[in-house]
Amino acid sequence: MSIETSNTGPSALLNFRAENVRSFRDEFELSLVSTPMAEAPYVRDIPWREAGAPERVLPAAGVFGANASGKSNVLEAMDDMRQYVLRSFRSGEPGGRIPRWPFRLDEQSVDRPSGYEVDFVLSGVRHEYGFTLEDERVVEEWAYRRPKGRAAMMFHRKGDTVDFGAIDKARSRAARDLLRSNALYLSTAAAAGHPQLTPLRQWFAGNMRYAQAATRPLRQVLTAKMLDDDRHRGAVLSLLWAADLGIADAKKHLPDPAMRDGLQRAARVLIGAEEEPADEESIELDELAIVHLTHSGSDGEVEFEAGEESLGTLVWFGLVGPVLQSLEAGSVLLADELDASLHPDLVQRLVRLFQDPQTNPNLAQLVFNSHDPALMGDGTAERLLGRDQIWFSEKLNDGSTRLYPLAELGPRKNEAVAKRYEEGRYGARPIIMDGGFVDAAEQVAVTTS
């Protein structure tokens, strides 16, 4: 399997922050900037300003915790921000409500604004972008860049007032004339072709792509399309062969017209564009195809429908395309429940694809959640994840989620992190009520006696 090197200049996700979003009442931060605890082979140096020391960036981060602790909501919040940037100008209506998901377990949070902020390196320059919004308006929005280390304003918005920094003033004012109170200025300016702001929107279009169960059929089509492409076919087949699934090929079959219409509506809802989608997210007929996998037998190749495959086979096939796409583009992939229906050895090899500079020369980044403690390491061999690549989500008594890094707890260099996690030393473990299992079994026994 070979990965092409990107020529678009260094880019990387550094930090993501959000507040009053889904199960997070208070602000949380996920960082991919390395710490002194980092495993040296995994750290990547990336230039982010003129004549300055490079930023030290990590290629992966894993979030661990109990069921319903908020692990998925970390990724959901990152995807929410991406969808706002890509959709708010095209999909919104004047005076319409903004879809948002504040923390709902206390009345005060429901009425408070939700906030999102991201720091990333784009073409060798650090950028900081964020916004806060309510149900019907964007409260504040800002974008800064640091070409020489200090923050230089690109724009700063409060309500409907937008101040501009050293960017194209004519295009900036033209975009401001199109601005709605319920649309992001970045989304509006990019739609108007703003030369300095369009690349920021394009970063969101190519990054923080979310692989979750609901998107699996579309991701399977992506993998199948890459098999049709001579440039990618070898890499796709290598990953299918490596997983020992017996897959020799994949074929796309177009559904009948009635099913196609239903799939198209579902796909538009899935990507957050119930109206006509943006150009780079357009839903082609080919993308609504149903994938059949071909297996090799003693008498030749046999085609199987998806319903005849194991769930693990479908999960892996749906991951191969996005993983290779991320490795080639040097982009960020969000993977929900990475270990679901996959053998632990396969999950570990997938994580190593991102950790290893040889297989990940373009600094693609993987942010995932998992229940598998083995991914944390036992302290006796080379760690799959460095101590500053492990994060925990924990549900608090008020129902909110707290996200915190293992590094905050000061683990030793040779600490058996998986063992200590299973012992409950770091928190983020479920509290199992054995009495509930006993009571349920006793009640069943009574009703059947």
pLDDT tens per residue, range 226-247: 888 899 989 998 998 888 888 8
Overall residue count recorded for the chain in this entry: 449
Return the pLDDT at 379. Answer: 76
Return the pLDDT at 92. Answer: 72
Q: What is the DSSP string of 295-350?
A: EEETTEEEEE-GGGS-HHHHHHHHHHHHHHHHHHHT-EEEETTTTTTS-HHHHHHH
Domain boundaries, the chain: 1-207+331-449
Return the pLDDT at 285. Answer: 45
Write the pLDDT tens digit of every residue in 34-86.
999 999 999 999 999 877 899 999 999 999 999 999 999 999 999 999 999 99
Contact 130, 115 (CB under 8 A): yes
**Helical (H) or strand (E) element with 429:** none
Q: How far apart are CA 289 and CA 307, in angstroms?
A: 15
Q: What is the CATH number of domain 1-207+331-449?
A: 3.40.50.300
Tell whether the torsion through CA atoms of 188, 21, 29 and 388 is positive or negative: negative
Residue 10 has pLDDT above 50, yes or no: yes
Q: Which of 196, 204, 203, 201 is nearest to 172 (CA)?
A: 196
Contact 249, 227 (CB under 8 A): yes
CA dihedral 370, 372, 373, 379 (to 10 degrees): -100
Q: Which of 319, 314, 325 is nearest to 347 (CA)?
A: 319
According to DSSP, residue 397 is labeled T
Residue 396 has pLDDT above 80, yes or no: yes
pLDDT-based confidence at residue 267 (cuts at 50, 70, 90): low
Three-state SS for 156?
A: strand
* Higher-confidence position of 117 and 304: 117
CB atoms within 10 A of CB 192: 18
Return the pLDDT at 257. Answer: 66
Contact 19, 13 (CB under 8 A): no
Q: With pLDDT > 70 as the criterion, what percentage of the chain qualifies?
A: 87
Residue 275 has pLDDT above 60, yes or no: no
* Higher-confidence position of 213 and 379: 213
Residue 377 has pLDDT above 90, yes or no: no
Residue 208 has pLDDT above 70, yes or no: yes
Q: Which of 6, 108, 16, 115 is nearest to 63 (CA)?
A: 16
Q: How far apart are CA 160 and CA 244, in angstroms?
A: 56
Contact 242, 349 (CB under 8 A): yes
- Full strand arrangement of the beta sheet holding 247-253: 247-253, 290-297, 300-304
Q: How far apart are CA 427 and CA 218, in angstroms?
A: 36
For residue 215, give both structure tokens: 């998107």
Return the pLDDT at 108. Answer: 94
Across the chain, what does the average pLDDT equal?
A: 88
Start-to-end CA distance of the chain, whole Å, equals 60
According to DSSP, residue 24 is labeled B
